Amino acid sequence: MRAMRCPVMGKEGRMPPVDRMGPVSTRERSVVLDALRGLALFGICLANFPEFSLYTFQSPEVVSAMPTAGIDRVVRFLQYVFIDGKFYSLFSLLFGIGFSIMMSHSMEKGRDGIAVFYRRMGLLALIGLLHLMLLWSGDILLLYALAGLLLPLFRNVPDRKLLAIAAALVFCPVLMDALKVFSGYRFDLAAPVGGAVRYFNGLSGITDANFGRWLVDGEHYSDVLKFTLSGAFIRVQELLESNRVFKVLGLFLLGLYVGRNGIYANLERRRTLLKRVCRCGFLAGLPLSFLYAAHALHLLGGGPVAGAFLYAVSVIPLSLAYVSVFCLWFLRRKDAPLFRALAAPGRMALTNYIGQSVLGIVLFYGIGFRLGARLGLAQVELVAASVFLFQALFSRVWLKFCLFGPLEWGWRMLTYGKRLRLFRKTPSFPGRKAAPFNK
């Protein structure tokens, strides 16, 4: 009988035997991938909380008058160097790896993996839309779901061509910004969205004068909804202006390459590759990230084309360097507590991502503790780190009793159309063998 070709096969025409590729066990592979998700969540929390706290929206006069203004300038520069863009890039890479794993598992079980994946993306789009409209206008899930719908189109593309397409997509924003500049900004996909932003801001009474304090001055959830309604269009405008979909899809494809070649499952044999990526990523990405930060803070000349180019050559390499050094450390210290501490929130990535929005509202908005527009950037980042620490502890306790995070449980049940057990038959306490976790 002629063998059926797997949707995520490599160029050899067969799926890598991931369970026999090296000394890293199935459970260890789960830990390293989940720990990387946890690391990405931590970085995303640090990146997003300056907006949740409304610090980003304050005028230069307000920012300069804060007691921590001096240290805040240093923190802001370092945030652009080490955080901005790096962790959503890591999250995007893991998304592509997850797609390859899902496809291979579906083929092994004789399922229609594409249909299951599209259902999963449809549900993720719904979750992202609700998150965008009801909680926070900085949502990324809707974009992930829409860009993810394109992934099956690339499942049979050969490896070299896949990497070439991924690289082209990462640099595509440079071309798009160049076309915008050379056309005198007549070629601007985000321009039509600006009208919708002005309309809904006018409808709600949101102005430039009260924009930075609207959410902290509002005493009712209806005020939050007014802001997120216009904020949703601001988000669309931002994504179009930054050409984010090209970057995200490019990283998805890079993750697909990593996943279908079993690189995550064969870290020991890939040690040389990891060292090379780590070395090149830091040597190129770190100095260029300083230039990117200087450009973003208007300390360095150049227009949007220069900014897009610096982003592509700094953010992606440094993000890959983070992944590589993390995996090399894992190979040396597989039993280090940090990996399992990060793996717990990583296994509940959807729940914790939405949870960060809920906690941000409670801490900073007028319907909560009203800390918004009062804290400097250094203080905000300390709050963000504390929020993630809380989530890590909560996730660890939750997973002692449950097989999935609450949102992951509902998402999985709706995807597969069947009821799944949530609670473990025997609580998983340290020193006691845990009930199996179905990835």
The residue length of the chain stands at 439
Q: Are 140 and 85 in contact (CB under 8 A)?
A: no
pLDDT tens digit sequence for 10-24: 444 333 443 333 334
* Residue partners of 163: CB distance under 8 A and separation at least 6: 253, 254, 257
More confident site: 416 or 73: 73
Location of structure tokens 């931002």? 238
pLDDT at 184: 86
d(CA 283, CA 269): 23
d(CA 242, CA 232): 15
pLDDT at 436: 40
More confident site: 154 or 104: 154
Closest CA to 324 of 278, 365, 384, 391: 278
pLDDT at 243 over 70: yes
pLDDT at 103: 83
Query: Could you give the percent of the chain with pLDDT greater than 90?
Result: 80
d(CA 239, CA 233): 10
pLDDT at 88 over 80: yes
Average pLDDT over residues 211-231: 96
pLDDT at 253: 98
More confident site: 111 or 74: 74
d(CA 284, CA 25): 33
pLDDT at 2 over 90: no
pLDDT at 426 over 80: no
Rounded to the nearest 5 degrees, what angle is found at the Cα of 401, between the Cα atoms of 395 and 406? 55
φ and ψ of 423, to 5 deg: -85, 145
Work out the angle between the directed axes of helices 26-52 and 377-401 (0-180°, nearest 10).
140
pLDDT at 431: 44
pLDDT at 106: 72
pLDDT at 287 over 50: yes
More confident site: 104 or 404: 404
The SS3 assignment for 104 reads helix
pLDDT at 294 over 80: yes
Average pLDDT over residues 387-392: 98
**Mean pLDDT for the chain?**
90
Average pLDDT over residues 374-391: 98
Average pLDDT over residues 90-102: 94
Q: Of 28-42, 72-86, 217-231, 333-347, which gets the smallest average pLDDT?
A: 28-42
* DSSP secondary structure string for all residues of 304-345: HHHHHHHHHHHHHHHHHHHHHHHHHHHHH-TT-HHHHHHHHH
- Take residue 436 and report the two structure tokens written for it: 């199996």
pLDDT tens digit sequence for 327-370: 999 999 988 999 999 999 999 999 999 999 999 999 999 999 99
pLDDT at 434 over 90: no
pLDDT at 110: 64
pTM: 0.90
CA distances 126 to 110, 130, 139, 246, Å, are 27, 6, 12, 21
pLDDT at 271: 95
